[in-house]
Amino acid sequence: MNKQILLFGSGLLAGLVVMLALTLIGLPRLMILTHESRYSVDDTIAEVSRVARDNGWSVPKVYDIQGTLIERGYADAPPIKILSLCQPHHAQQVLSEDVNKRLSSIMPCRFGVYQTADGKVYISGMNIALLSRLFGSAVSEAMRNAATEEAAMLAAVLR
């Protein structure tokens, strides 16, 4: 009996350790989606912004991270900007209930657009389709719809 309990406990512990390791290794790669753009940083921002506006999204802000770093004395800062996008209907679906207003901390949707040392330009953002599974039905639906629309908008710039 004690052997069975010890064997069961050992198997359970080993399973938990393996699951934790897989989560820690795999989850970061799943949470951020990265795609190569066929345009420069500025042209990627312009094209995604244009497509977003054409599809009823707004572009509340573009953050010039490179410019900010250069202003602070980091002359070798790489080209990088952050594009904020908002779809008012989806935002209202999420924010209409007080319990969901805490999610405003991850709104609006943001994409990093950056150039790597080899000259390639990438666009990255949260995997909101995956993240949507963690929330209730209204939030989940809005996030899944936003993810679908984002993917269609990004298709305009991807290689």
pLDDT digits (tens, 9 = 90+) for 76-99: 999 999 999 999 999 998 899 898
Domains and CATH numbers, the chain: 31-154 (3.30.310.70)
Binned at pLDDT 50, 70 and 90, residue 22 comes out as low
| 11-25, 92-106, 109-123, 137-151 — most confident range | 109-123
Section 17-29 average pLDDT: 68
- What local confidence, expressed as pLDDT, does residue 27 receive? 62
Q: What share of the chain in percent tops pLDDT 90?
A: 59
3-state secondary structure 51-72: HHHHCCCEEEEEEEHHHHHHHC
* pLDDT at residue 4 is higher than 90: no
For 61-98, give one letter per residue: b (16+ CB within 10 A) or e: eeebbbeeeeeeeeeeeebbbbbebbbeebbebbbeee
pTM score of the predicted model: 0.81
